[in-house]
Chain A
Amino acid sequence: MDKGKITLLVIIALLLAIQILDRSREPEQMLAFAERIEESQESLRQQQVEFNIIVEAIKEKGIELTGGGKGEGGHVDPLRDGKPKLYANFLLPHNDGHFNPTYVGGTLKVYQSSPKGLNPIVENSATASDANGYINDSLCSFHPRHPQLWSEGLATSCIISDDYLTYTFYLRDEVYWQVPEIAKKSEFEWLNKKVPLTANDFVATFETVMNPDVECPQKKAYWDDMESVTALANNIVQVKWKVKVYTSLNTSMSISPLPRHIYSFNEKGEEYSKEEYGLAMNKHWFDEMRQAVGVGAYVLDEFTPDKVISFKRNLDYWGRGYHFDRIEWEGLVKDQDPQLVGFKNGDVHAHGLSPTQFKSEVLDRNEPRFAAREVNNPKAGRAGEFAWEQVRSRSYSYIGWNMRSVLFNDKLVRRAMTYAFPKQRIIDEVYYGLGRPQVANVHPDSVYYNPNIKDHVFDLKKAAALLDEAGWKDSNGDGIRDKLINGQKKDFEFTIKYYASSVEWDSTLIIFKNQLREIGVVMTPKSFEWKELLRVYEDKDFEAVSGGWRFGLEVDFVQLWHSKYAEEPRSSNHCGFKNKRADEIAEKLRNTFDQEERIKIAKEFQEIIFEEQPYTFFRSGEGIFIWQNTDKGENNKVLGVEEGLDTYHPLYSREKLLWHLSKE
């Protein structure tokens, strides 16, 4: 064969290959086309609903369409102030004052790691519960402006009785379960019906969690003290507790209903036997089909694990819902770098920066589209094409001192360590100003925070004096402090164990080490992998250790500080903190429901902790939040973020559902 023939053959083969590829893509294209038609029909229906919402709003409020809304102010029962009390409905009326019909529309896109599944009982990841929060509602809810006050959710009334052991909820009328997407298929036609929400759906949640065969150990632990959930009538749910404990409040109010009309049936529509039900729940056919339903403001639209999960407006929602038509979570991009590039290219509306990214992008001005930082203006970041702002997170970090060791069993020494720790300098230099000095064991944004405690601000002289007072002096002139303990001379030398993958802790401890060296104390940092570090905590195998805690807004001091846990293996009280008064009030706090009383107790508790200094408290977490601030012609500017940052509670200031997108 000559070259010409070969070339000809190759060309023919290539053309054939292209033809084959062409054909193979056809069925997929047809499918996608059909889907598009369906979508456009859907969107027509949606526009109809939006139009109705606007008309309704105009009727309700006259011509004025901005903010305000029903619920805030107005004429309501004075007992309904959102603060838990006995024998009265204390729930604030449902408030959708955030809703403005002119803002309706658009798709919000964010990066969010993909949940493995959406089963509301078995899945315990944070993303799964976020997703379920969009799809489903709970008995009661709160507005991010006042996260401490409860308002109506699926329940319109909540009455607590029996010394906080019994909670009775009256359900809202006319709430219907969403109909899942698969009900359109002929084999799942039995699902294609409007099912009303009843009290039994809440009983189903309780019974499923308590079923020994259902694998949800984390939930079981929380619900352990719950005695029963019963349906007194079709619209009355009663939750009973075995013991009076403050956490029962939160747990009872946030129970979500379970769609038992789906979960207790198999894929053919036959009811599971009692024996099978628990086992089937662990790997339910409905979850396998990547479906989820609820009674919430959004409907699950598409769920492809590790790729995308999207929600669309629930057209039959009982409330008025939120502004976005769709919400999309992008789950494939997981690495920091590609995520930032994706944000810059407009893939997502909002994102975050790590401290190092913050340094290079904003502080070093490598990305001119972020506005520069200004010392006296915390809102300066809002000016750029990409807006940024320093936001708070629910965590604080600390250095823990082992109170069983001869070095740190003296509170004077622990106090000296705090004086020798240049908190503010480290926050500024290592964390680029992200964070605030933490003084005691309550997050500064919590209502329980005690602002009267004045921190031991960095002062080496005071530290040295305290060490002298505690008997640690340099007696042999080698530059290291020492003390006679049980007849033996002991140098002040110790090892601090910390989390290996944190560059910030590396630098922090180097600075601390140098400060300590100046007052004759030798500290050796030693890094550990996360799991090894967990063992260090468990074994209490340290002299000093770095750490961090994440918190909710409520406080409970027993787990971390009670002396019954000081010697108990694997407890969270790894420093061995023991204090009688602290024990008393920690226990009292557990079953005190009156908020003012609780605040008083918590404040006293912080004073004890501060006096004892079991930890050198370090910083309460802060991060950088970024969002799209210009319109690139694709309606991708996010609005409402600033309002959230300015008026909502700092820990809830990024409530995405209350934003909206630019219209033009």
Chain B
Amino acid sequence: MLAYLIRRVLWMIPTFLIILIINFGILRLQRPPLSYEMSGGQSQEEAGSRDAEKGQANLKNHLGRLKRTGNNLPSLINLRGFVDKDDMIEILEDLQSKTGVKESERYEQELELMISGHMSVEPLVEILKDESLKSLHGPASQAFMMCAYTPLNYEDRFEYSSEELGEIQLRNKSLADMAINYTNEIDKAFKVDDENYESKRENILNYYQRHQSIYVQSERRWGAIFGDTGFMVFMGKLFTGKLWSETKKRYVFEVIAERWQVTLWLNIFSIMIAWGIAIPLGIRSARQKGTLEDKTTTNILFFLWSLPSFFIGSLLLHHLCTDSSTGAALFPHRGLSSDDSLWYGTLRYLLDIAYHGLLPLIVLTYASFTVLSRYMRSNLLEQLNADYVRTARAKGANEDKIVYGHSLRNSMITMVTLGAGLISELFAGFIIVETIFTIPGLGLLLLDAVLQEDAPLVMGSAVISVTLLMVGFLIADVLYAVVDPRIRSQYG
């Protein structure tokens, strides 16, 4: 039995990792375009309206944040260290406006270069040194200014001493005013358009001369292939608990810690209710197969099943939870407890919670009755038609003993599998129920995170829900062993 359990737990680890990678991949695909991120997040509030007074955002000022989220790095493989002068020339030439190339795509590429950091400095300087490449010196100088910049954020306060910080700040400061102006007209080559071209270029080369040691990256490039990637930054933050939510301005797990209990309790109760009602219903239906009662329950359950829960939820909210002109509402419209429930005695407190939780639980569970009880019914029927039941009947065993003593236990095996899946299904249901009844749980949090495109928070919530699912599977595995003697005997 122990061996069985250990095996199950060990299996969870690769599953967990794979789910994480897939999740991360999808979120990274969904990463908002850099240009959008840097324009300062225009709100969608007023259907398609934009702020007319929004100024051009300051690009450098975004670097600290990008560095913090790992969004300045490639997702899974980082080959920036292998870009040499020729590659860089190609990259720069691609930034040329051309007919047929959409400006937003071109701009996105430009931004990608701008945020690529110290690894791009060396090839850029080589281009700037080369007099024959003068036409590229405009964009190269701008990229140089951005790439040579060392973004700082609050975490660096603890990593560097004051003197080191001062040094970096001084260095960053001296990087101003080095951009060589240039023209980028459609289908024409870049052209330097700057009176101070010579002095600016000299500045750049001088600067590089002085700080060369910082920017030589050839030793680091192999380690960076897998080390300096968005995924590694993310994993590092995940396992040290430092995942940071930009929209909440707090650590992700701190936010989740406040919310998960509510969802878990709702989960436990709704599973208990769903099973507590669906299984007896299924048994009763199976035993009375074909009667009017069986048909009625079946029809009612399918009717319920076909009603979407957001619809039922809103209906209940508007009709049972809203004060009318004639009287107060039957049920509370929000939360899981009254405002002053802290002052209630414990029994009243529990009753208060039950009163608040009733409608949300109904909305969460009514749909699962159908599936569960239908499965229960058909499984039990299958068992009741089996040979051993006929034998038992022939021996004259009474019907209750046959159903509860023999068939039920056998038909529970399928139900256990269903149960594990149910946990994750309910998790989706919470988003709707928590939004409608304003319950501060994980569902509401997740919805918020998705709407505000807060990737770390979404990932954090996903990790929690995956963990819940895994735990669900583990419990199911244990229950298998309980209901199925074959598994127990296999593992001794």
CB-contact partner of A221 in B49, B56, B60, B162, under 8 A: B56
Interface stretch of the complex, out of B136-144, B340-348, B460-468, B479-487: B340-348
Across the interface, which residues of B come within 8 angstroms of A287, CB to CB?
249
Query: Is B169 among interface residues, defined by CB-CB distance under 8 A?
Result: yes
CB-contacts of A546-569 with B (<8 A): 546-552, 556, 559-560, 569
B457 to chain A, nearest CB (A): 12
Are A279 and B47 touching (Cβ within 8 A)? Answer: no
Closest-CB distance, B353 to chain A (whole angstroms): 11
Segment touching B, from A458-466, A531-539, A609-617: A531-539
Do residues B152 and A213 form an inter-chain contact, with CB atoms below 8 A?
yes
Q: Nearest Cβ distance between residue B338 and chain A, in whole angstroms?
A: 13
The verdict on B156 contacting chain A, using a C-beta distance below 8 Å, is yes
A residues 477-534 near B (Cβ < 8 Å) are 498-499, 501-502, 504-505, 530-531, 533-534
A392 → B minimal CB distance (Å):
13
Interface residue ranges of A202-233 to B (CB < 8 Å): 212-213, 215-218, 220-222, 224
- Tell me whether A259 is interfacial, beta carbon within 8 Å: no
Interface size of B in residues (CB-CB distance below 8 Å): 71
Measured CA separation A548–B61 after assembly (Å): 28
Flag the segment in B4-12, B38-46, B356-364 that touches A.
Answer: B38-46
Interchain CA distance A560-B53 in the complex, whole Å: 10
Q: Quick one: closest B residue to A549, CB to CB?
A: B52
Judge whether B62 is part of the interface by a CB distance below 8 angstroms: yes
Least CB distance from B121 to A in Å reads 19
Give the most central of A28, A116, A505, A621: most B CB within 10 Å.
A116
Interface residues of A in 237-290 (CB under 8 A from B): 273-276, 278-280, 282-283, 287
Chain A residues near B247: list those with CB within 8 A.
116
Contacting residues, chain A, for B437 (C-beta < 8 A): 338
* Residues on the B chain within 8 Å of A347, using CB: 334
- Indicate whether B64 reaches chain A with its CB closer than 8 angstroms: yes
Instruction: Report the Cα distance A224→B55, complex, angstroms.
Output: 10
Assembly CA distance A397 to B350 (angstroms): 52
Report yes or no: A25 in contact with B152, Cβ–Cβ below 8 A: no
Question: Are A534 and B48 closer than 8 Å at their CB atoms?
Answer: no
Complex Cα gap A29–B340 (Å): 11
8 Å CB contacts to A: which residues of B380-430?
A: none
**A334 at the B interface (CB under 8 A):** yes
B107 beta carbon closer than 8 Å to chain A? yes
Q: Which residues of B contact A556 (CB under 8 A)?
A: 52-53
A contact residues around B61 at 8 Å (CB)? 212, 215-217, 220
Q: Evaluate contact between A124 and B40: CB separation under 8 angstroms.
A: yes
A530 and B44 contacting across the interface, CB-CB below 8 Å: yes
Task: Tell me if B23 is interfacial: C-beta within 8 Å of chain A.
Answer: no
- Given the interface pairs A18-B346, A393-B46, the reply to whether A335 lies near B436 with Cβ below 8 Å is yes
Q: Is the CB of A548 within 8 A of B65?
A: no
Whether B48 contacts A282 by the Cβ 8 Å rule is: no
Looking at the complex, which one of A279, A539, A548 makes contact with B153 (CB distance below 8 Å)?
A279
Task: Kindly list chain A residues whose C-beta atoms are within 8 Å of the C-beta of B323.
Answer: 344-346
A355 and chain B: residue at smallest CB distance:
B47
B275 CB contacts on chain A under 8 angstroms: none
A572 at the interface (CB under 8 A from B): yes
The answer to whether the Cβ of B205 comes within 8 Å of any Cβ in the partner chain is no
Instruction: Mark B230-272 against chain A: 1 for CB-CB distance below 8 A, else 0.
Output: 0000000000000000011110000000000000000000000
What CA separation (Å) do A385 and B326 show in the bound complex? 12
B52, B317, B444: the one contacting A550 at CB < 8 Å is B52
* Contact between chains at A530 and B48 (CB < 8 Å): yes
Q: Does B78 contact A (CB under 8 A)?
A: no
With both beta carbons as reference points, the residue of chain A lying nearest to B245 in the complex is identified as: A116
Asked if B276 lies at the interface with its beta carbon under 8 angstroms from chain A, I say no
Decide if B322 is an interface residue (CB 8 Å cutoff): yes
B325 adjacent to A569 (CB under 8 Å): no
Give bound CA distance, A276 to B169, whole Å: 10
| Minimum C-beta distance from B443 to chain A (A) | 12
Q: How many residues of A contact B (CB 8 A)?
A: 80
Question: In the assembled complex, how far is the CB of residue A221 from the closest CB belonging to chain B, in whole angstroms?
Answer: 3
Give B318's nearest chain A residue, CB to CB.
A341
Given the interface pairs A220-B61, A548-B50, the reply to whether A273 lies near B347 with Cβ below 8 Å is no
- Of B80-88, B97-105, B282-290, B367-375, the segment with at least 4 beta carbons within 8 Å of chain A is B97-105
In the complex, which residue of chain B has the Cβ closest to the Cβ of A18? B346
Using CB atoms, name the residue of chain A closest to B347: A18
Query: CB of A50 within 8 A of chain B?
Result: no
CA distance A547 to B38 in the complex (A): 21
Q: Is A369 a contact partner of B33 (Cβ separation < 8 A)?
A: no
* Given known contacts A117-B249, A306-B448, A530-B48, A221 and B440 CB-to-CB distance under 8 angstroms: no
Min CB gap B421→A, angstroms: 28
Find A547's partner among B33, B35, B50 (CB 8 Å cutoff).
B50
Expressed in whole angstroms, the Cα–Cα distance for A505 and B47 within the complex equals 9
* A604 part of interface (Cβ distance < 8 Å): no
Q: Please name the residue on chain A nearest to B49 by beta carbon.
A: A548
In the complex, what residues of A have CB within 8 A of residue B46's CB? 393, 395, 548, 550, 621
Chain A residue numbers with a CB within 8 Å of B172 are 212
Does A598 have its Cβ within 8 Å of any Cβ on chain B? no
Instruction: Give the CA-CA distance A538 to B50 in the complex, in Å.
Output: 13
Chain B proximity of A344: nearest CB distance (Å): 5
B49 to chain A: which residues have CB within 8 Å?
395, 397, 547-550, 621
- With A212-B169, A397-B48, A552-B53 already in contact, the answer to whether A279 and B152 are too (CB < 8 A) is yes
Contact flag A212-B173 (CB < 8 Å), given A337-B317, A502-B48? yes
Assess the B154–A279 pair: CB atoms within 8 A: yes
Mark interface residues in B318-352 (1 if CB within 8 Å of A CB, else 0): 10011101000100011000000011001101100
**Most chain A beta carbons < 10 A, residue from B38, B42, B47, B162:** B47
Residues of A within 8 A of B349 (CB): 21, 25
User: Would A501 and B438 count as touching, CB distance under 8 A?
Assistant: no
Least distance between B259 CB and chain A CB atoms (Å): 9
A156-186 interface code vs B (CB 8 A; 1 in, 0 out): 0000000000000000000000000000000
A654 at the interface (CB under 8 A from B): no
Determine if A531 and B32 form an interchain contact, defined as CB atoms under 8 angstroms apart.
yes
Is A22 positioned at the interface, with any CB of B under 8 Å from its CB? yes
- With both beta carbons as reference points, the residue of chain B lying nearest to A572 in the complex is identified as B52
A499 to B49, CA, bound (A): 10
Q: Judge whether A187 is part of the interface by a CB distance below 8 angstroms.
A: no
In the complex the two chains form, is B48's CB within 8 Å of A550's CB? no
Q: Which residue of B lies closest to A536 (CB)?
A: B104
Asked whether, in the complex, the Cβ of B47 is within 8 Å of the Cβ of A501, the reply is yes
Q: Which residues of B contact A535 (CB under 8 A)?
A: 33, 102, 104
Q: Which residue of chain A has its CB nearest to the CB of B106?
A: A569
- Return the CB mask of B152-183 against A: 1 if under 8 Å, else 0: 11101100001001100100110000000000
CB distance B48 to A217 under 8 Å?
Answer: no
Residues of B contacting A61 in the complex (Cβ-Cβ under 8 angstroms): none
What's the Cα separation between A221 and B32 when bound, in Å? 22
A425 at the A/B interface (Cβ < 8 Å)? Answer: no
**15 interchain pairs (CB within 8 A)?**
A25-B342, A218-B55, A279-B153, A338-B435, A345-B321, A347-B334, A501-B44, A501-B47, A531-B36, A533-B48, A534-B36, A547-B49, A550-B49, A569-B107, A570-B107
Q: A395-B49, A572-B52 are in contact. List 17 more A-B contacts (CB 8 A).
A: A18-B350, A21-B349, A25-B346, A117-B249, A212-B61, A212-B169, A215-B65, A217-B59, A275-B166, A278-B152, A342-B438, A345-B329, A530-B48, A539-B102, A541-B102, A546-B48, A550-B51
